[in-house]
Amino acid sequence: MSNVEKISVALTPEMAAFVRDVVKSGEYASSSEVIHEALQDWKQKRLLQLQNIDEVRRLWQEGIDSGAGQYTDIEAIKQEARKRLGQVSQKDA
């Protein structure tokens, strides 16, 4: 195993029991292995969240950079939505 640093982690009784149970069942060789895999999953999830945040920021900026919107206020947006909804309803009939 490469260099490792030992740290102490406090778990709720329920989480500690869960870790002990999966080790006892043979699914994992040790509690360290359980925590290691959980941290790897968390790291991947966090990376994905950060990528999503970056994408939203990029799209937000793209919207700002594209200039003023077509509609002047919320009422204009509602009016356009009603118009489009009417067109969809008429096509379905």
Residue numbers of the domain that contains 85? 13-35+46-92
Q: What is the pLDDT of residue 35?
A: 96
The model's confidence at residue 1, banded by pLDDT at 50, 70 and 90, is low
Number of domains in the chain: 1
pLDDT greater than 90 at residue 93: no
Q: Average pLDDT of the chain?
A: 93
Residue 76 lies inside a defined structural domain of this protein: yes
Q: Are 30 and 23 in contact (CB under 8 A)?
A: yes
For residue 6, being part of any structural domain is answered with no
pLDDT in tens, 16-34: 999 999 999 999 999 999 9
Q: What does the pLDDT read at residue 42?
A: 98
